[in-house]
Amino acid sequence: MDELEAIKVTFFQECEELLADLEGGLLAMQDGNDDGDTVNAVFRAVHSIKGGAGAFGLEPLVRFAHVFETLLDARRSNEIPGTPDLTALLLRASDVLADHVSAARGLGVVDMDASAAMAAELKAATDPNAAPVAAAAPAVVEAEPAFEPAPVVIGAANELLGDDALDDDDLGFDFQPMTITLDAQAADAAVIENVWTVSIRPKSDLYRKANETGLLLRELARLGPVQATLDDSALPALDLLDPEAAYVTWSVRVETDQGEDAIREVFEFVDGDCELEIVRGEAPVSDLLATLKDAAAPAPAPAPVFEAIVPSLEVAPEPAPAPAAVEASVIAAPAAAAPVVEATAAPAPAPVAAAPAPPPAAPSGAKPAQIDVPGPGQSVIRVDPERIDRLIDLVGELVINQAMLAQRVGEYGIAPSSNLAMGLDELEQLTREIQDSVMAIRAQPVKSVFQRMPRLVREVANMTGKQARLVMDGENTEVDKTVIERLSDPITHMLRNAIDHGLESPEERKAAGKNPEGVVRLAALHRSGRIVIEVSDDGKGINRERVHSIAVKKGLISPDLVLTDEEIDNLIFLPGFSTADKISDVSGRGVGMDVVKRSVQALGGRISIASRPGQGSTFTLSLPLTLAVLDGMVVDVAGETLVIPLACIVESLRPKSEEIRPLGPSGHVLAVRDSFVPLIDVGVTLNYRDRSPAATEGVVLLVEGEDGSRAALVADAIHGQRQVVIKSLEQNYQQVEGVAAATILGDGRVALILDVDAVINLRRREPPRPADPTLIAAE
Amino acid sequence: MTRTVLTVDDSRTMRDMLRMALAGAGFNVVEAVDGEHGLEVLSAHRPDVIITDINMPKLDGFGFIEAVRVDDDYRAIPILVLTTESDPSKKQRAREAGATGWIVKPFNPEKLVEAIRRVAA
């Protein structure tokens, strides 16, 4: 059933938020912020998860959440003191809870033993005086199959309720006939067996809580034919009457085969708020009244006459099979002891109500649901992401179309100052604003990724015996959703690496005069139109000697190769490189930094490393803010149109011949101010042509790679700067070295977007250039 | 006449569940995310029945019920609290605050509608 499934999706979304709240609260507690609000918020998070899980019958999750909640409740009411140990325990419990949520979602499995052990720990912490709980005792935990129909019977119930909700035929009681074994001759006795006399004397509290005697009588009437008698003898004179007080007593004869429990259940909500007596059989009314009068303290003098008001002693009439329609009539007996209300079962569809016309008991034959959608979500709307993706696609097309239009108009040689050209400029401006706004809809803070990291750090630190503290910065930095989804893996890997390989053991740190607790910093920031993620540690830094010797031992580089520090550091990105002496659980899973590097590059991102011995390392990841659009320079190379990402371009220039120097058999360098940069002919690198024309005839674009290396790219001509919509080559064709993606230009032609770093590296690979480690790696 | 039920719960899941069950039974549903919000929605929509959670930020269920009960305009509105089997003391506190009845979580729609019928005129 769709609606329930949708709510389940909501539930898991909410779980994510609640788990984040939980962790945030616990971390605040860890930092000494132990006030009532924080503890309450933490409690509520677990409580809400439990509540929702209960609704979907996610048993293992409910059970674990319950144990967790019980401990938090004890903490909340200060039954147990807040200690760092307790907070640490709660944090670990929150991790197990998160696992349970994932398992309930069908993602992953819960470690049953760990969960049971944690539950035992939580129980022990809840009641420190109790005998230690056997660890084996707690629940068996297993992954819930995803979206297994929950035991909640909403589906069935809705069918039941769909057409005639609240119809008394369908609802309310279960019709589970009491099994009474009776002899044939005891039939008469059975009739008496089924007759009950119920006397009710409400207290004023009953009314204070908005309960109504009339509704109780209506409920009784659902069990079978009733006859109600009102004793108003305790009513004071009108001028003495306290409108808030309770004065009357009801005696009801009810004929039902549903037993005493069913009758008692009617009074569940008013338990304690009225005096109630349930007696089997036809108790003489007078006796009962006497009993109750005795119970009712100073009984005032004989009551004045009142017209008894019986509120809504009527049940929604239903023609054919509804024997329960109750005919009620009120007989006001002048000055007599008690007015009697007679209620008899009548098969007739039209009940006669003597009481002031009560509102219908129920919206019988309820029409399809009227859903009113005000409420809490007024400031937030939930939109299907596909709609936004579609919108972004369309705006992309709009950008292309606008560019085409501009180009066509340009072809007619219209002056830039003309109204048409100016109108087009405005259109371009608007198009860009629309695009930015649309992209902003899909932009999300990186928080959603960052918030998973504290747990990771805890786990990795535990596993490796390190002490690590995670410091996060810039969680609110926004980036397109498409990028966010793909940040998680590289960050996870870099953090693991920082703790496992970067941080020293507490002993080593102490020996080095450092705080035994290492600090790992995770930061996000915007820099020149890209998002930059930095992962740094204050560990020992890269041991270059060892990295070098390992690379030699593994045959990744030749032993006599002399490398700069930076080049050695970059060796760790080579496929097949692993620095750990022993393969650890954490990062030695055969997934090296080379995989991280490749996945980052596939996103149009770069990764670089800076390390200082004894002081730590910093990994810097830079990614485009969006995978949808790009500002680029459109250039001509060997008759082809290419786009070079603007973010890479430092400057463009026309070189003079004296600035170009030959280097080696075929290479050239360009003197740019005080330094030389390699001159790269894009046409040759991409195999558009065999020989490059003289660089002086073309245009040179000075570009900078992610690692800071510069190169001078030679192109034939520059067309100008343009925003282009990125169309993936991998999705539509296949990956091409040196090309990041493609786009459609204003004239409708496809242009390739240059991958500047790859072009720089391709050129480096040109033989013979053994000084570059990537060359050897590739072979 | 379609009756209006106000649901007050900080959990979106629970609000959605209540809405589904109640709308399916022909009720008009209005929602609030905590006790404070509940009091605002109350004056805007004048519900016939209120269903409220207990553990909520800002103003919890107890405070919310008490606030409704001291207001002459609203004190006659039946209030059902959502409770769990495990905590009878909370139910007792809610009753003392003025709750009319209660619904044990996890509820099923039949029980929910039955509880409303029992308290709503």
Q: Which residues of A touch B69 (CB under 8 A)?
A: 208-209
Residue ranges in chain B assigned as alpha helix (H): 12-24, 35-45, 61-69, 88-97, 109-119
Return d(Cα A602, Cα B64) in angstroms, integer: 54
Question: Can you give the pLDDT at residue A188?
Answer: 54
- What interhelical angle do A2-30 and A453-464 show, nearest 10? 60
B 3-42 residues with CB < 8 A to A? 3-4, 10-17, 19-21, 23-33, 37, 41
Contact with chain B for residue A370, Cβ under 8 A: yes
> What is residue A320's predicted lDDT score, i.e. its pLDDT?
41
**In A, which residues are within 8 Å of B11 by CB distance?**
14, 48, 51-52
> B72: distance to nearest CA of chain A, Å?
11
CB A76 within 8 A of CB A117: no
C-alpha A712/C-alpha A703 separation (Å) is 6
Distance (Å, whole) CA A94 – CA A175: 45
Strand duo A340-345 + A226-231: pairing: antiparallel
For residue A362, give the nearest of B37, B69, B117 by CB distance: B117
Question: Quick one: tokens of A181?
Answer: 């074994």
Choose among B24, B28, B110: nearest Cβ to A171.
B110
Secondary structure (3-state) at A205: helix
| pLDDT > 90? residue B51 | yes
Rounded alpha-carbon distances, angstroms, from residue A69 to A42, A101, A232, A689, B87: 9, 15, 50, 70, 12
Contact predicate A739/A754, CB 8 Å: yes
Residue A526 CA to residue A528 CA, distance in Å, equals 7
Q: Is there a contact between B106 and A51 if contact means CB atoms under 8 Å apart?
A: yes
> Which of A13, A152, A369 comes nearest B23 by C-beta?
A369
- Which of A57, A171, A266 is the closest to B113 by Cβ? A171
Per DSSP bridges, beta strands A616-624 and B28-32 are unpaired
Angle at A52 between CA A49 and CA A54, to 5 degrees: 105
For residue A652, the SS3 value is: strand
Q: Three-class SS of residue A303?
A: coil
Q: What is the DSSP string of A474-529?
A: -TT-EEEHHHHTTTHHHHHHHHHHIIIIISPPHHHHHHTTS-SSEEEEEEEEEETT
Query: 3-state SS of chain A: helix, strand, coil percent to 5?
Result: 40, 20, 40
Residues A172, B117 contacting (CB under 8 angstroms): yes
Task: Give the three-class secondary structure for A634.
Answer: strand
- Residue B70 distance to chain A (closest CA, Å): 10
Q: Which of A122, A123, A93, A96 is nearest to A110 (CA)?
A: A96
Interface contact A41, partner B, CB < 8 A: yes
Question: Which residues of chain A neighbour B71 with C-beta distances below 8 Å?
Answer: none
Q: Which two tokens stand for residue A479?
A: 């980036």
* Residue A58, min C-alpha distance to chain B (Å): 11
Which element (helix H / strand E) includes A329?
strand A326-331
Q: Which amino acid is at A460?
A: V
Using DSSP bridges, classify how beta strands A699-704 and A710-715 pair: parallel, antiparallel or unpaired: antiparallel
Is the distance from CB of B83 to CB of B103 less than 8 angstroms?
A: yes
Q: Which of A438, A440, A439, A406 is nearest to A424 (CA)?
A: A406
Full 3-state SS string of A415-460:
CCCCHHHHHHHHHHHHHHHHHHHHHHHHEEECHHHHCCHHHHHHHH
Interface contact flag, B105 A54, Cβ < 8 Å: yes
pLDDT, position A337: 42
Judged by CB atoms closer than 8 Å, whether chains meet at A51 and B13 is answered as yes
pLDDT at A578: 63
Inter-chain contact B109–A367, Cβ cutoff 8 Å? no
What's the pTM value of the predicted model, to 2 decimals? 0.50
CA distance A750 to A643: 10
Cα separation, B98 vs B95, whole angstroms: 5
Query: Among all residues of chain A, which has the CA nearest to that of B82?
Result: A51
Token output for A272? 């304690």
What is the token pair recorded at A745? 């230009």
Which chain B residues touch A43 with a CB distance below 8 Å?
55
SS (H, E, C) A699-765: EEEEEECCCCCEEEEEECEEEEEEEEECECHHHHCCCECCEEEEEECCCCCEEEEECHHHHHHHHHH
B10/B19 Cα distance (integer angstroms): 14
Contact criterion met (CB < 8 Å) for B24 and A158 = yes
Are the Cβ atoms of A66 and B86 closer than 8 angstroms? yes
Task: Please tell me the distance in Å from A228's CA to the nearest CA on chain B.
Answer: 18
Of residues A778, A657, A650, A632, the one with CA closest to residue A718 = A632
Nearest Cα neighbor of B105 from B81, B79, B83 is: B83
Distance separating alpha carbons of residues A161 and A513, to the nearest angstrom: 72
Contacts (Cβ under 8 Å, ≥6 apart) of A426: none
Q: Which residue of A has its CA nearest to B26?
A: A369
Query: At A469, is the secondary structure helix, strand, or coil?
Result: strand
Q: What are phi and psi of A302, to 5 degrees?
A: -45, 140
CA A229, CA A197: separation in Å to the nearest integer? 11
Low-confidence ranges of chain A (pLDDT < 70): 1, 128-192, 283-379, 528-529, 576, 578-592, 602, 604, 627-628, 706-708, 731, 763-779
Residue A322 C-alpha, separation from nearest chain B C-alpha, in angstroms: 18
The distance of A270 to chain B (nearest Cα, Å) reads 8
Q: What are phi and psi of B108, to 5 degrees?
A: -115, 160
Q: Which residues of A651-669 are buried (b: 16+ CB within 10 A; e: fewer)?
A: ebeebeeebbeeeeeeebb
Of the candidates A55, A210, A370, the beta carbon closest to that of B13 is on: A55
Nearest CB among A162, A215, A369 relative to B121 is that of: A215
Mean pLDDT along residues B16-32: 88
Structure tokens at A487: 């940040």
Task: A413-416: list long-range contacts, CB under 8 Å, 24+ apart.
Answer: none
In chain B, what is the straight-line distance between the N-terminal and C-terminal CA atoms, in Å? Answer: 12
CA separation for the pair A621, A446 (Å, rounded): 14
Beta bridge partners of A629: A725
> What distance in Å separates the CA atoms of residue A247 and residue A274, rounded to the nearest whole number?
11
SS (H, E, C) A568-592: HHHHHHCCCCCCCCCCCCCCCCCCC
Integer angstrom CA distances of residue A703 from A540, A566, A620, A661, A691: 33, 20, 19, 18, 21
Q: Where are the alpha helices (DSSP H) in A56-83?
A: 59-76
CB-nearest to A376 from B31, B57, B98 is B31
pLDDT of residue A614: 86
Q: What chain A residue is nearest to B40 in terms of C-alpha separation?
A: A375
